[in-house]
Amino acid sequence: MTTRVYGLNNCDTCRKARKWLAAQGLEADFIDYREHPVGADALRNWAGEVGGWEKLVNRASTTWRNLPEDRKQPAGEAQWLALVAEHPTLVKRPVLVTADGVASVGFSETSWARRLGVAS
């Protein structure tokens, strides 16, 4: 598996992350998860890798704030999956999945340099 970055083409943070990767001479496949929805298994794995659904979902986003209150309290994994399937922009971005299958969310040069073995 190659390194993959999941996000949205029009997201400034995703653009910044991709530009940083290019500046480091690193290649990664970019997948816009609005155009290519992420499957339930991958979402479950990501949630497990990052510490749960609460950490995978961006609860500071406009999308989250605009949800009805009853949707903001999913009762379990099935409801989290349904929510993210309906609103893919809820996933924090970008999601970095390294060749070993480990996922993380968000971008910082320091953390990505450490994860990708690049001198910062």
* Catalytic residue annotation: 11
Give the integer Cα–Cα distance in Å for 41 and 65.
26
Burial of 7 (C-beta count, 10 Å sphere; 0-12/13-18/19+): buried
Token code pair at residue 31: 């997948």
Give the integer Cα–Cα distance in Å for 21 and 4.
11
